[in-house]
Structure 1
Amino acid sequence: MRSRIVLAAADGLTTSAVARKLDINVATARRWRARFLQHGLDGLLDEPRPGRPRTVADAQVEAVITRTLETTPKDATHWSTRSLAAELGMSQTSVSRIWRAFGLQPHRQDSWKLSKDPQFVDKVHDVVGLYLNPPEAAVVLCVDEKSQIQALDRTAPVLPMMPGTPARATHDYVRSGTSSLYAALDVASGTVISSLHARHRAIEFKKFLAKIDAEVPDEFAVHVVLDNASTHKTPAIKRWLTAHPRFVLHFTPTSSSWLNLVERWFGELTTKKLRRGTHRSVRALNADIRAWIATWNDNPRPYVWTKTADDILASIARYCTKINDSRH
C-alpha cells in the first residue's frame, strides 16, 4: 500500500486523489508521501517500536515447532506446553504462544477412515445424485437402524442446574434393557417414518419396509439409501423387494455412514434426548423416543446436501495425497 501511494503520487495525482484511488484515509496518503520525500525507500519501513525487545529467537520458534511435530516425550504420547518448555529450557507461556500462532494442538486427535469399497466412486455418484437431483414421482428415504439404545437410570437423582453450577449426574447407572429404532428420513420434507423393536434382525427390517410401503402413497416410487448391513441383503428381503418393484435400494459405500443423512438425524436424537435422558424401563424409553419423533414431525427440517460427488471425490483425493506425502 505504501508503494502504491508513492507510485500514484509520481503519476502526478494530488494527495486527495491518491486517497480516493486507493480507498484510504487522506492522512495516511499524506504521511507516507512525506516519509518517502524525506527518507526515500527507507521512509517506507516501520520505525522502531517502543516496548520490551523480543526474547524468543527464530531458532527457538523453529525448535518448538520441530519438536512438537516430529517427536514425542519419553513418558507420554504427546507434548504439553510445560513438558516441552522444560525440554527446551523455555517458559511455558512462550511455548503456548508459539503453538497458538501456528495452530498446533497436540492434545487433540481427530478420527478418520477411508472406504475400501471397490465401487466407492460409483456409489458416491449414485447416492449424491439422489440428493441433488431426485427422480420425479419418487420419494427418497434415508434408512438405518440405531440399535442397542439403552434404557438407563442414574443411581441417584440428577441435581438441577443452578447459577454458576451445571446440572450434575452420577457416573454410574442402572441398565434396564435396550431398544432398536428403525428410521426413514424423507430427504425432501425432513419427516421421519419410525419403528421401535426389541431386536434388529432381517425380520424387523422387513416389517419396517412394510410400514414404509403402507405410509408412502402408491403412486410414488421409493428410493431407499441404506448401508451394507447383512440384515438388508437376506433372501427374505430380496424376495420382498421382488414383490414390491417400486422399492429401489441404493447402498452407501462400506465405512461411509456419513453419506446417509439419517445418521445426522440420529445425532440430533442422541444429543437432544438420549444422552442425558433417564429411563427406568424400555417402555419409558420407547415412549420418550416416540414423543420426540412426533414433535420433530410437527415441524420437520430437511437437511440440505450441497457438495457434488465430484467435490467429495476431489476432497478425498487431496487427503490421500496429503497422507502419501506424509513421512509418518
Structure 2
Amino acid sequence: MPPSSPYPITLDANERVALQRLARRPTASYRMVVRARIVLAAAGGASNTAIAADQRVHVDTVRKWRVRFWQRRLDGLTDVPRPGRPRRFTDVQTAQVKALACELPADRGVPLSRWSAADLADEAVAAGVVDDISASTVTRWLAADAIKPWRHRSWIFPRDPHFTAKASTVLDLYARIWDGRPLNDGDFVISADEKTSIQARCRCHPTLPPGQTRLMRVEHEYERGGALAYLAALDVANGKVLGRCDASTGITPFARLVKQVMTSEPYASADRVFWIVDNGSSHRGQTSIDRMANTWPNAKLVHLPVHASWLNQVELYFSIVQRKVVTPNDFYDLTDVEDRLTAFQDHYNLGARPFNRRYTEKNLDALLKRLTIHEPLPTAAQSPTN
C-alpha cells in the first residue's frame, strides 16, 4: 500500500459543489480546472502519484495544491501575488520625459532641429530627470501617447486679411453657388494653375523593368535635357482637363491656356466661365481680372487667398501627374516630356470624373478656429527696434 498523505482532504457540501463547478466551467482557465480536479481526486482518497498520472502533471504539482488547499481551503487555489521586477521609473519621471519631447530642442539650448529617442534619453539624464535610461524605453513611453518629435509638418499662418471671404467664395463655386445663387447649366467652373520646371532627365543607362523579386531599377546618374512648364485647366464639374506645355510660366503662356479653353466648346458659348487661380505672377491682382474680362467677356477670374493653393482642385490633378508620369523622371528630351504629359492627359480624360471633395465652409471655420490659438510672429516692419 502506498503511504497515505499527511494532508488528507475532506470537503464539505459547499466546497464540493464549488470545485465541481470550477472543474466543469468552460470559461475557467486550464490551470484552475486542473487544481480543482486535483483536490476532488484527493478528497476521493487517491494518492498523489495516481492523481499526477491521471492529470498528466508532476507529482510535486499535486503535492503543492493538496497542501495549499489543506492550509487555506478554496482561497489556496488562487495564485499568490508575485512581487515581480521593481519599477525603475516613477510616473512623474515618465511624464517629465514626455514633456521634454513636447519642447523644441532650441528652447533648451540643445543644437538640434528635432529630437530623436536617443537625444531625449541623453537630455533626460543631463536635466537630472533620471539617472540612466535607454532610447528604447523613451520610444515605448512616447508611443503610448503617439508622440513623435522626430517628425514634422509644414504649415503657414493665413495672412490675407480677407482670407475667409475669398476662401468661402471658392468653396461656394465648387458647390455651384455664386453670390448666394445657384449656377445655371450655362455656367462652368475652371480650376487652373501651372506645374513648373518639369525636367527632362535622360538616364545614363536605360531603366530596367521590374521582375520576379526585383523592383524597377532607375539609373542614378542622368544628363539634363532642360525643363518646361505644364499649364492645366480642370473642369470642376466633370473632372476633365485641358492643358498645354510651354517653355516657362508667365502672363503670355497663361493667356495661351485661357485661349485654348475659351475657344473650345462648351466654354466658347457658355454664359459664364469662372476661373479659380492662385496669386502667382501669371495671374495676380486686379490687373489680371481686368485683362481676363476685356479679352473674354464671359470669363471671370476668381483669386484664392494668399497661400491657399491647397484649395485649388487642379493641384489634386498635378499630384496624380507627379506620381504617375513625372516620378521617376526618365525622359530623352523635352519633346518626350511633352508627349508623355499630353498622352497621359488624353488617357486621364477617358475616365475623368470630378474629385469628391468634401471640404466645406464648416471645415474652413473649424480650421480658422484652431489657428486662432496660434499668434503669428511679428513681421520685420512690426518688430520692435532697439
- Contact in 1 for aligned 2:200/2:227 (Cα 8 Å): yes
User: Distance between the aligned counterparts of 1:259 and 1:205, measured in 2?
Assistant: 20
2:302 is aligned to 250
SS of residue matched to 2:260: helix
SS of residue matched to 1:98: helix
1:293 is aligned to 345
2:116 is aligned to 80
Cα distance change of structure 1 residues 71 and 185 upon mapping to structure 2, 3 Å threshold: closer
Greater Cα offset, 210-219 or 135-144: 210-219
SS of residue matched to 1:224: strand
* 1:177-216 equivalences in 2 (<5 Å): 177-216=226-265
Cα RMSD of the aligned pairs, angstroms, is 2.8
The sequence identity of aligned pairs, in percent, is 30
Match of 1:104 among 129, 147, 152: 147
- Contact in 2 for aligned 1:130/1:140 (Cα 8 Å): yes
How far off its partner does 1:163 sit? 4.9
SS of residue matched to 2:370: helix
User: Distance between the aligned counterparts of 2:275 and 2:81, measured in 1?
Assistant: 67
Higher relative contact order (CA 8 A, sep 6+): 1
1:281 is aligned to 2:333: yes
2:72 is aligned to none
Match of 2:184 among 136, 148, 158: 136
User: Distance between the aligned counterparts of 1:168 and 1:198, measured in 2?
Assistant: 30
Match of 2:134 among 83, 86, 91: 91
How far off its partner does 1:189 sit? 0.6
The code of the aligned residue for 1:247 comes to A
Larger radius of gyration: 2
User: Distance between the aligned counterparts of 1:50 and 1:204, measured in 2?
Assistant: 77
Cα distance change of structure 1 residues 250 and 236 upon mapping to structure 2, 3 Å threshold: closer
Greater Cα offset, 92-101 or 162-171: 162-171
User: Distance between the aligned counterparts of 2:326 and 2:332, measured in 1?
Assistant: 13
Give the TM-score taking structure 1 as reference length. Answer: 0.77
SS of residue matched to 2:174: helix
User: Distance between the aligned counterparts of 1:118 and 1:216, measured in 2?
Assistant: 37
Q: Which runs of 5+ in 2 are unaligned?
A: 1-26, 28-79, 126-131, 178-182, 378-386
2:69 is aligned to none
How far off its partner does 1:160 sit? 4.1
- Contact in 2 for aligned 1:180/1:199 (Cα 8 Å): yes
Count how many residue pairs are aligned between Structure 1 and Structure 2: 281
SS of residue matched to 2:339: helix
1:226 is aligned to 277
- Contact in 2 for aligned 1:190/1:302 (Cα 8 Å): yes
More helix by share: 1
1:60 is aligned to 2:93: yes
- Contact in 2 for aligned 1:144/1:262 (Cα 8 Å): yes
1:266 is aligned to 2:318: yes
